[in-house]
Amino acid sequence: MKRKKFSVFLTSEDILDISLEIEKKQIGKFALNYRALVKNKWVPIYRVDNFHGFLHEQRLWRTKEPIPLDDEEYYTRNDVVDRYIDQISNNFQKYKSYYKESSNKKKKK
């Protein structure tokens, strides 16, 4: 089994960290972790992975609690990874703004 870990710069202030476990040209376990530079610090904002035996996401502007996801509609794990790469690439700016809003609200309280 091969493990790969690399970081993709979506912009100079937005990074998607990708971890893959690959066996016979198929992805087994994976994690996609989106982080952004907020006030000079890299903060994790969104994560999806199956490292704990089930597919789940974490919307870290809300809570650290994992939200279980259904992957039955996909043919392979490779398709699941593709689907969440799409989701993050299309929504990362929105997620970052949610994170900023949420941390501003927490400060006001």
Partner 1 sequence: MKNQKSEKIKGIVKSIVNEEIDLPNDAMVFLDPSTLIEIFTKKRLELISLIIKFKPKSIQGLADIAERKKQAVDRDLKILERLDLVKLEKKGRSISPKIEKRLILMNLSELFSIGDPKVKKSKEGAIEAQVFVDGVNINKKMGKKEA
User: Rule CB under 8 A: is residue 78 a binding residue for partner 1?
Assistant: yes
Count Cα atoms within 13 angstroms, Cβ side, for 42: 11
- The pairing of strands 26-38 and 67-68 is unpaired
Helix and strand numbers (H, E) in the chain are 1, 6
Q: Which of 54, 63, 67, 89 binds partner 1 (CB under 8 A)?
A: 89
Q: Which stretch binds partner 1 (CB under 8 A): 47-55, 65-73, 82-90, 96-104?
A: 82-90
User: Rule CB under 8 A: is residue 36 a binding residue for partner 1?
Assistant: no
Cβ proximity to partner 1, 90 vs 104, nearer residue: 90
The answer to whether 53 touches 106, Cβ cutoff 8 Å, is no
The rounded distance, in Å, linking the Cα atoms of 36 and 9 is 10
Kindly list the residues in this chain that would bind partner 1 in the complex (CB under 8 A). 3-12, 16, 18, 20, 22, 25-27, 37, 40, 42, 78, 81-82, 85-86, 89-90
